Amino acid sequence: MRKLALVTGASGGLGLEFARLLAADGYDLALVARSGPTLDDIADRLRGAHSVAVATIVQDLAVDGAADAVFARVPRCDVLVNNAGFASNGRFDRLPEDRVRQELLLDVVTLTALTRKYLPGMVERAGGKVLNVASTAAFLPGPFMAVYYAAKAYVLSFSEALAEELRGTGVTVTCLCPGATATGFADRAEMRDAPLFKLPAADAAAVAKAGYRGMARGKRVVVPGISNKLVALSPHITPRGLLLKLSRNLVEQPNKEHRS
C-alpha cells in the first residue's frame, strides 16, 4: 500500500510547499483547506507532475467538529502535517470574541484533535510522522498577538511532550518553528504594516524544506535560520520585561484601529 500524507492549510504558503515535497517523494495526498477551486488546481498539478493520488477535502478547520469531518473522509494516514493556522493582531479586549474562538479552534483544538485521531493507527503500525507547524512566537510572550503566541507555545510544548511519549514506537513528532515567512499569513492577520513584516521574510519553499528534512530525520524541533535560532534563545538571555517590549514593538501597529 502506498503511503498517504494529510496536509492541512494546503491551498498556499507552507502547506502547498509541504504537499509538493511529499508528492515528489511519492506520497499519495489528502489536502485540506477552505478553497475548493484552488485545491482542485493544486491536485491536478501534483497528479500530473508526480503520478500520485490526490484527494481534496474542503473543510473549515476553525469550527467545532472539524477533525471529525476530516477523519471521516480520511481514516488513516502515514504522515500528518498540521500546518493550518492564523493570527489576530490587536489589543485582546478589542478583538471580536468569535475571531478569538476561531483562532483557538484552528491553532490548538483542531490540531490536537487531528493528532489524537491519527496517532493510534500510526502506533499500531509502528510507523508514522507528525509535523506540527508552530512559530518562533512559541518562545516569546506576544503583546497584541497574545492568543497566537500562546497557541504556538502550546503547539511546541505539546509536540515535544508527544515526541518523548512516543519514543521507541516508530512514530515521531516534529515541531517546525519558523519566523516571518512569505505566505498569506500577514494579510489574514491584518498586519502588513507591522514592523515584523517590514523585515525580509523567509522563502516559504526553503522553510518547508527545512521542516520536511527535520521530520524525515525524526528531529523534535526545527528552527530554520540563524536569526530565528537567536529568537528561540532570547528568553534564556534577555530579561522578561525587555523581551515583552521588544516583542510588542515588532507587532504593534499604533495607527491601526484594533478590530476585525
Residue 54 CA to residue 163 CA, distance in Å, equals: 28
Whether residue 148 lies in the annotated active site: yes
Residue 37 CA to residue 35 CA, distance in Å, equals: 6
Q: To which residue does cell 516583542 refer?
A: 247
Residue 70 CA to residue 86 CA, distance in Å, equals: 19
b/e sequence 49-59, b meaning 16+ C-beta within 10 Å = ebebebebbeb
Residue 218 CA to residue 71 CA, distance in Å, equals: 24
Residue 186 CA to residue 176 CA, distance in Å, equals: 18
Q: For the purposes of burial, counting CB atoms within 10 Å of the CB of 69, is it exposed (0-12), middle (13-18) or buried (19 or more)?
A: middle
- Catalytic-labelled residue, pool 118, 148, 149, 212: 148
Helix (H) and strand (E) counts in the chain:
10, 7
Q: For the purposes of burial, counting CB atoms within 10 Å of the CB of 199, is it exposed (0-12), middle (13-18) or buried (19 or more)?
A: exposed
- 3-class DSSP state for residue 183? coil
Q: CB of 85 within 8 A of CB of 61?
A: no
Give the list of residues 6+ apart from residue 100 with CB closer than 8 angstroms, or none.
Answer: 88, 92, 147
The residues that are catalytic are 148
